[in-house]
Chain A
């Protein structure tokens, strides 16, 4: 072990002087490419921001201006006052939070049992979970709609909460069982010998140890539900229930689109989730690794 290490360090230091210049050039190239890539990915959102700040009279210029001559911050106030943005935001928040809670309540015990114990129908259940991930709600709106009609849930929060929870459950089960499986069984065993029940082992030992996995699952489910569009479009018919993604389409009229308002609202929806997502970036990679590459 130490011999190989010495050899590698020796080889490294030999080539280091010669490679330093090349390395500097490579780093510059990487940085330039990196920032170019970043710019490409941010471009639609930068344009979104400038449009949201464009005054009314400059919006429909032919050809378009690169930047507005003045930044109309009051657009955000106007949009907030003229459309039920707050209501849409509250609806989105209720639906996304409740769906996340349902997913957690349902997926934590299931993922734990699937990760820890072997039983006869285990493979069948794993297959079922996997299958739900393959069925996007988009391809099944008719079935979902009729299902909700039968349950009497059309145009209710509950319908959207359950659909989001049901369809995005798989990801959570997957990530969590990956995390649970990575915790050595001996740790739990020791607690069990001390007289802990399965439930309290899960609650006191396993869950705290898999906090990154939990946070990833929570934020992931929350963001997916926050952004859901097709089911909400199909199942909501009133402002009181409609989430922001559907509400936003209200600015897109038949003949005229109030783009600055569309984008002001979009930014209100996008900024919080981007911040949330960046917060889990560190765990995102380990989460994806634990969940998918076992």
Chain B
């Protein structure tokens, strides 16, 4: 029916000129993408690494090679250890809460009930809206003087007097976490929902016929089948939360002082507030190393790119 040369995706061409052979290969298709990746994504990576080894004055003039001086300064920075600890806690807490709530929300959005479409649309709003704007709205609702939250809590009798929520780390950190979970939920929920919809309905019917309880069905059938989408939702959420900047920037600015900084906001402050460009670049590299570990774990566990060959 078919000859081998027609079925094989990669065709062997014999008497073609060099130009034609080039055009038949992957290069014309892939090169634009590679150029963009190298110039826009990888060059800054290299530039960042190089900057972390340079001695740069606060006005941006390169004064020479600094060796590991920037790193030494960074590790001597009294605000670093707090920021690193907070970053890890921040990522773990936000991701864990997000995934738990998303599992519930995806289940809800997968069930049939009147108005489901409206609920799905509502969930899309925080996803489509800029995080900056969502965070600004939260900051306004939480304002110590004019915020609606204090009014509600006062009216309900939960608090005696208005609280300046963003005034100290003890009250602002929980809110930062809540807002981060809030903006993370739509994406993770939709990925898990996508996973739920790949599970054929017959599986559930069979379980029902076998008399399996709803909870048992969920943990024995649904949950294991959700593994891939759950994994993807978790990893992407992890990276987003790790790099989360606008929420903290808008709501507390990392303050008061440095008490609500994560490594990302600290890095920005070092570069554009304290003009410590070298030190900031070395923090980027440290940050970057942590993300790279995540990437490697991700590739390892998911086996991405190896499956098909």
Mark A residues whose CB is within 8 Å of B.
7-8, 11, 27, 30-31, 33-35, 37-39, 41-42, 44-45, 47-48, 51, 59-66, 102, 105-107, 109-110, 112-114, 116-119, 121-123, 125-136, 138-144, 146-147, 150, 162-163, 165-167, 169, 173, 185, 189, 193, 223, 226-227, 229-230, 234, 245, 248-249, 252, 257, 259, 262-263, 266, 269-270, 273-274, 276-278, 281, 284-286, 288-289, 292-294
Residue in A61, A125, A130, A167 whose beta carbon sits within 8 Å of that of B30 in the complex: A125
Mark B residues whose CB is within 8 Å of A.
6-7, 9-10, 25-26, 28-30, 32-34, 36-37, 39-41, 43-48, 51, 105, 108, 111-116, 118-134, 136-138, 140-141, 143, 145-148, 150-151, 154, 162, 182, 185-186, 190-191, 193-195, 197-198, 202, 205, 208-209, 228-229, 232, 236, 239-240, 242-246, 264, 267-268, 271-272, 277, 280-281, 284, 287-288, 291-292, 294-295, 298-299, 304-307, 309
Residue in A59, A63, A269, A278 whose beta carbon sits within 8 Å of that of B150 in the complex: A63
Contact A166 B30 (CB under 8 A): no
Residue in B26, B28, B105, B264 whose beta carbon sits within 8 Å of that of A138 in the complex: B264
Supposing A63-B162, A142-B48, A293-B194 touch, asked if A123 and B137 sit within 8 A by C-beta, the answer is no
Closest-by-CB residue of B relative to A193 is: B6
Q: Among B120, B133, B137, which residue has the most Cβ atoms of chain A within 10 A?
A: B133
Chain B residues lying within 8 Å of A288, measured Cβ to Cβ, are: 190-191, 194
A127 to B292, CA, bound (A): 12
- Given A11-B208, A133-B239, A142-B51, 13 more A-B residue pairs with CB atoms under 8 Å apart are A30-B108, A44-B126, A65-B151, A117-B26, A139-B291, A146-B47, A147-B47, A166-B36, A166-B39, A166-B41, A169-B37, A274-B129, A288-B191
Interface of B is mostly: helix
Contact B229 A293 (CB under 8 A): yes
Contact A110 B29 (CB under 8 A): yes
Contact B122 A63 (CB under 8 A): no
Closest CB of chain B to A78's CB: distance in Å?
18
Contact A162 B284 (CB under 8 A): no
Interface of A is mostly: helix
Supposing A27-B114, A64-B146, A269-B130 touch, asked if A169 and B197 sit within 8 A by C-beta, the answer is no
Chain B residues lying within 8 Å of A167, measured Cβ to Cβ, are: 40-41
Contact B307 A294 (CB under 8 A): yes
A227 to B134, CA, bound (A): 11
A293 to B202, CA, bound (A): 20
Supposing A139-B287, A142-B284 touch, asked if A229 and B197 sit within 8 A by C-beta, the answer is no
